């Protein structure tokens, strides 16, 4: 199966050049004008590589990068595109977890070399499993199914997503706004009641005792899954 790359670049010309270059490397490419649209798309499908412009309308590239590296998308290699070649940007980008950097204007061959390099480095580490498991609790991402002690648990779509993200980041305190943004989308940042209600219902469905034990409240931050 061919690999996919998502390209976020607001300038159409450059986006098209990048698309052509990557397609000639055998990649399937989807272009986005804004980081917000990238995140919207990544709710349903994740790419093998992201090319991210820094200067974007709306959410800027460095903020987007931070967000990519915070969640279940953290393993996706990111190449930053920037018109600024100042050292400070490079340091910030690499500190935030970017895999590489291309300064505009760039040559197509250089870009292709960087892309191949990033994909090579990304290849192989832990092959992502479709099964998340914590003792008797099993979440099957492909089948969209959750079982506890082999008994199926009926979850709503949002509850499922919430549990999946918490389990994928087991042991890590997940910020409220991150969970809200990722599961409900942008307009919801700050609507913590929505999140709290879903956590409560999720805990209840997992069995109040087990539920509270598995999903801890981290005061001032959000929630943490303790497998
Ligand atoms: Ca730009």
DSSP string for residues in 99-143 = -EEEESS--HHHHHHHHHHHHHHHSSSSPPPSEEEETTEEEETTT
Distance 56 CA to ligand 1 centre (A): 5
Distance 60 CA to ligand 1 centre (A): 9
Q: CB 90: neighbour CB atoms within 10 A?
A: 16
pTM of full prediction above 0.85: no
Distance 201 CA to ligand 1 centre (A): 42
> What stretches in the chain show pLDDT beneath 50?
124-126
What pLDDT score does 125 carry? 47
Distance 202 CA to ligand 1 centre (A): 41
Q: What angle do CA 119, 164, 136 make, to 5 degrees?
A: 120
CB contact burial 5-30 (16+ within 10 A = b; e otherwise):
bbbbbebeebbebbbebbeebebebe
**Do residues 197 and 104 touch, judged by C-beta distance below 8 A?**
no
Distance 170 CA to ligand 1 centre (A): 36
**What pLDDT, in 10s, does the model give residues 130-175?**
889 988 899 998 888 999 988 999 999 999 999 999 999 999 999 9
SS3 28: strand
Residue 29 CA to residue 46 CA, distance in Å, equals 12
Distance 7 CA to ligand 1 centre (A): 12
**Do residues 55 and 82 touch, judged by C-beta distance below 8 A?**
yes
Distance 12 CA to ligand 1 centre (A): 10
What pLDDT score does 142 carry? 81
For 80, list phi and psi in degrees, rounded to 5: -85, 140
What pLDDT score does 193 carry? 87
What pLDDT score does 181 carry? 84
- Residue 211: name the closest of 168, 148, 128, 164 by CA: 148
């Amino acid at each position: 199966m061919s690999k996919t790359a998502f390209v976020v670049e607001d300038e159409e010309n450059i986006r098209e050049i990048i698309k052509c270059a990557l397609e000639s490397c055998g990649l399937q490419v989807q272009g986005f004008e804004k980081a917000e649209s990238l995140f919207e798309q990544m709710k349903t499908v994740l790419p093998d590589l992201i090319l991210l412009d820094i200067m974007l309308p709306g959410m800027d590239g460095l903020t987007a990068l931070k967000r990519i590296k915070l969640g279940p998308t953290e393993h996706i290699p990111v190449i930053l595109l920037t018109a600024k070649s100042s050292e400070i940007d490079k340091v910030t980008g690499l500190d935030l977890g970017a895999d590489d950097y291309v300064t505009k204007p760039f040559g197509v061959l250089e870009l292709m070399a960087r892309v191949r390099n990033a994909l090579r480095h990304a290849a192989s580490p832990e092959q992502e499993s479709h099964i998340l498991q914590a003792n008797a609790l099993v979440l099957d991402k492909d089948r969209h199914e959750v079982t506890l002690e082999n008994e199926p648990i009926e979850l709503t779509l949002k509850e499922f997503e919430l549990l999946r993200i918490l389990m994928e980041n087991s042991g890590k305190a997940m910020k409220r706004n991150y969970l809200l943004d990722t599961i409900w989308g942008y307009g919801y940042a700050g609507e913590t009641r929505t999140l709290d209600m879903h956590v409560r219902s999720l805990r209840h469905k997992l069995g109040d005792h087990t539920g509270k034990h598995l999903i801890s409240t981290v005061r001032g931050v959000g929630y943490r899954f303790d497998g």
